[in-house]
Structure formats: C-alpha cells, structure tokens
Amino acid sequence: MTERSPLIYLRGYAGPPSGVDKQVDDPFYGLNSGATHIRVDGDGAPCFYQFEGPLLRLMIDEDYELLVRGDQHAYLEAQDDGTIPAESVWVFRFYDYAASTFGTSVAAAPETFDLERAAERLYDFVQLVRRKTGAVKVHLVAHSMGGLVARCMIQKVSHTADPSSGTPRVPGAELVDKFFTYGTPHGGISFDVGGGLVDWAMETFGPAGSEMFAPARMYTYLTPGASDGEEPPAGWQPQHIPDSAFDAKRVFCLVGTNAADYGLVEKAVGPRSDGLVHIDNAYVHQAHRAYVHRSHSGRYGLVNSEEGYQNLRRFLFGKYQVRVDLCHLALRWRPGAAETVWQAEARLSVRGLPVLLHEQTAAHYCPIQLNQEAVQHADADGQVAPVPLATAFLLDPERARARSENQSPNRSRYTLGLRVFHLVERSGRFFWEDHLEQVADWEDTLIVDVGHPDQAPDSGLQAWAAWNSEVAGEVDRVDPIRSDPCSLTAEDGELHTDIALPEPACPLLGAESCLRLTVSRVS
C-alpha cells in the first residue's frame, strides 16, 4: 500500500451567531452524519438505504482512525512528534472561536467569524497534524464555505509571512496532497430573483455571509497581497487556481444538481443549482468534477450521500485514473433557418456500487452542451480539440475484491452511458413540431475494464473496452468485456487509445469522431 496522508475535514457556513452556537455542539460539526434514504427508487419514492456517514465509512473501508479523547486538538498537541498514525481523521473546528457556549475555555470572548483568520488557523493546524503524524502532506476535505477557507490557506495565507515572527510560511502545494470539495461556491453565490426571497436569504446568511461570497471579497482572500476594498483586475476569475499556488488536477469538486430538496432558499437561487450554489459556480477550472443529483446539505445532501463518499474515496485512494474525451467532434448542422442545439447526457457507474458516480442530464439542468463545447475547444483553424466527458478513479482491485465468481479480482470495471439528442430553435424559442420527447438520436454505453490479464497479473497495465450494443447476453458475465485488450499508446506518463463510435453516432458527431480513453496510475 502506498504512503497514506492524514485527512482534515472542514464544514461549511454556519450562518449568524445563533447558527454557530448550534453547530459547535456537534463534536464533528455534522460531518459524521449519515443517512437512511436513497433519493428515489423505481417507483419514484425514497427508499431505505443505510449510509454510515463519511467519517465512519473511512474507518471501515480505509482503516483510518478518528482520535478525539475529549479534545481532538488538545490530544494532538500532547502527543510526541511522529507518533500518531498518518491514517487519521481530524475535524478543523474553526467556528469554536466564534461560539458563545464555551465560556473562556476556547476564547476570552466570542469572535466575529473572519474567513482569513480561520485560514491562518488552518495553516497552523495542518502544520501541527504533519508534525505529530510525520506525514509529508495532508488531504483537505471541505463542504461548502469550508472549501473557500482551504483555498484561502493554500492560495494566500501560505504565501504570506507569519505576521508575529516575519517567518515565511510553507507554500500550500507543499502541505496539501489532494483537495476535495462538496458543493463549494468556488464562483461565489448568486440569486436568480429579487424581492423578499433575496432579503430572506441575506438575513439567513447574515451581512458577513452575503458579502463573503461576492467576487470582490473573494479576490481579497484568495490573492496574496490583496487588501480589503481592493477591486479585482479585469478578467480575474474566482474559480481559477493559479498553477503557482496549486495543481488544479489535484482538486476534485462534487457538484450537486438537486435544488428541490434544499428548501426555501432554492426559490431565490434557482433550479439550476444544489439549492444554494449554482452548478456553474461549484467547481474549480481544470479540476476533476462529478455531478450528482443531491442537494447542498441535509439528509438528501452531498455530504450525507453514498455518491459523495464513493467519489471522495476513489479520488483520495484510487489506483487508476481513466479519462474519456470526445475527439474529432464535427456536429451535423440541419439545413434551414432553424438553429440545431446538440446536447449529450453522461452517466458514470462503477461495478459493485448502488449509485451513479456522475450524472449529467437535461432533467437535472446540466447536459453537456455540444455546440458550446465545439466552440470552446476549437483552435484558430476551427478544429475541435478533445471535449472532456468524464473522469473515473478506480480502486486497486485487490482492495475492492469482486463479490461474484463472474468477476476477476485483477480488474476494475466502470461504464459511461451516453445519449445524444438535438433540439431545434427558431427566433430564440424551441420548435417542437418535429420533436419526439425523450427519444435520443443515439445512445449506448461504453464498458471499460482496467487492470491485468488473469494469466499475467503482474504484467503491465491494460484496458479492455466495448460498447454495450456489441455484447451479447448479460454484461456482468463477460469479464474482461472483450477478448482482446485495447492497443494502448504511451505518452507523457499516460496510456491512451481511440475507440470508434458505433456507426449510428457518426452522422451526428462526425465521420471521424471517437472516444479517447486515457489510463494512468494515480501518483
């Protein structure tokens, strides 16, 4: 097993002082909460499914320890350096300083919450965890605003000298290995409607909260040297992490798409959100991300979900990374004055799991807009570069042993279901006369096995791939999914192969269109 890193969890925004006092009563800030519902069953109603919560599940699946002993921070400080297991989970309780329920045992008086001060304390806490565990780096796992506290530490605080001593701090990229966020408003929080609902939402956040997610304030706490009141320069984007601060490829953003389960604030934010954070604001540019039909928080929320945990576990501890891109896209343009809008839907599943790990659909307000992707990824000559569809992280098959005699312990399997369909616009409105609702122009599922042949389990990494339409009989009885592995080409530490689309897709997406499968070991 490769060297492990300690995990540090950060919770989201707690609201005004009364909300802070309520949240600090929970020993783990709510990050231990589980759930007993899968959102929808075959009849359209929630059904029983017992999820232990991410903290307990990590102890079960990955042998991590949650060390508390009355006061997790005090216990950590009291141990000798290098004596605590790296496989440990820590909850950064940054709100304790703003609570009024602890007397003077935490702070002489409750503080007004300040995000940058919380980020400075996070830096100190990360250093403490590293020293006591002997770990080189930590993993940060954050819900909602906690992700902005982490980004402030990584992008600004760690690049600023300690004000008390003048000593330069260690850059965040040298402290943090991987960074996972649940529903973090990386692009801020905005509202679709005005009036009383916005007033209600601002009252719920409190004046500090409403200002905290505005671009100008985000620029202040995400940029070294920036001071309060300073306007961001033209073109500055809060969702961009500079390469000099942290590699965005070591970030994973879980994006919620279920606004309906969050409550009244959804009416102000709009349906294209998790109920609080817009879908387009919930990720970092160039980072890995997955879309799941969960709300911002609560019993149907991201943190309380099997979908969230399985994405987290695989990103942190996966052995293989498999990326799928759509190459040589050349959309078919229908004749006439009408504009054809092409969209795709993608669903990613992994063998052995009861949930989808990624789901981009029109019904959830997040289909892949192929027209926009074609323009966005086109070069100066109009040639379309590969369009990213999905990235899967797969566990070592030895650590996720097959449960069926039909499945090999030497391979991991995942599938990517694709649907492509078109809509017709005239004068800015959809034109329905020729429309067939829910009928895709093309759909199929790519099945991918990654690992080693049973006859040579110690050989080099290989991949097998086939379209579901090509497989006769039950898919789970065919392993690997085809007899011959893909011919993989090595390039820049990765292996890739092009998989031709089934013939019915070619008139829609281009005669030379294909999926590029890229496989690599996780570093």
Amino acid at 483: S
Q: Report the pLDDT value the prediction gives residue 502, as an integer from 0 to 100.
A: 95
Position 402 confidence tier, pLDDT thresholds 50, 70, 90 = very low
Q: What is the CA radius of gyration of the chain?
A: 24
Residues above pLDDT 70, as percent of the chain? 91
Does pLDDT of 406 surpass 80?
Answer: no
Does pLDDT of 336 surpass 60?
Answer: no
Q: Is 432 exposed, middle or buried (0-12, 13-18, 19+ CB in 10 A)?
A: exposed
Mean pLDDT, residues 106-129 taken together: 93
The number of residues making up the chain comes to 523
DSSP code string of 135-192: -S-EEEEEETTHHHHHHHHHHTGGGS--TTT-PPPPPGGGTEEEEEEES--TT----S
Cβ proximity of 268 and 280 under 8 Å? no
Average pLDDT value over all residues in the chain: 89
* Strand arrangement, sheet containing 320-327: 387-394, 320-327, 514-521, 494-500, 489-491
Residue of 263, 353, 359, 300 whose CA lies nearest to 36: 300
pLDDT tens digits, one per residue of 183-207: 999 999 876 655 444 444 545 555 4
Residues above pLDDT 90, as percent of the chain? 64
- Cα separation, 227 vs 220, in Å, equals 6
Q: Before 480, cis peptide (omega within 30)?
A: yes
Does pLDDT of 436 surpass 90?
Answer: no
* Rounded alpha-carbon distances, angstroms, from residue 286 to 54, 249, 253: 26, 7, 10
Read off the tokens for 62.
């990955």
Amino acid at 320: Y
Read off the tokens for 3.
């060297």
Q: Report the pLDDT value the prediction gives residue 267, as an integer from 0 to 100.
A: 64
Q: Report the pLDDT value the prediction gives residue 334, as an integer from 0 to 100.
A: 56
Mean pLDDT, residues 462-483 taken together: 93
Most confident listed range (44-48, 370-374, 424-428): 370-374
Number of Cβ within 10 Å of residue 279's Cβ equals 20
Q: Report the pLDDT value the prediction gives residue 207, as an integer from 0 to 100.
A: 47
Q: Report the pLDDT value the prediction gives residue 426, as an integer from 0 to 100.
A: 75
Span of 165-169, 430-434, 443-447 with lowest mean pLDDT:
430-434
Mean pLDDT, residues 434-454 taken together: 89
Cβ proximity of 180 and 138 under 8 Å? no
Span of 37-51, 148-162, 288-302, 321-335 with lowest mean pLDDT:
37-51
Residue of 8, 24, 227, 3 whose CA lies nearest to 124: 8
Residue of 144, 154, 197 whose CA lies nearest to 176: 154
CATH architecture, domain defined by 7-187+237-255+279-317: 3-Layer(aba) Sandwich (3.40)
- Cα separation, 146 vs 183, in Å, equals 10
- Cα separation, 256 vs 182, in Å, equals 8
Q: Report the pLDDT value the prediction gives residue 265, as an integer from 0 to 100.
A: 63
Question: Which backbone phi and psi does 109 adopt, to 5 degrees?
Answer: -155, 150
pLDDT tens digits, one per residue of 205-248: 554 556 788 888 999 999 999 988 899 999 999 999 999 999 99
Q: Report the pLDDT value the prediction gives residue 131, as an integer from 0 to 100.
A: 98
Mean pLDDT, residues 252-266 taken together: 85
Mean pLDDT, residues 403-411 taken together: 72
For the chain, give every domain's residue range.
7-187+237-255+279-317, 322-521
Position 465 confidence tier, pLDDT thresholds 50, 70, 90 = very high
pLDDT tens digits, one per residue of 494-520: 999 999 999 999 999 999 999 999 999
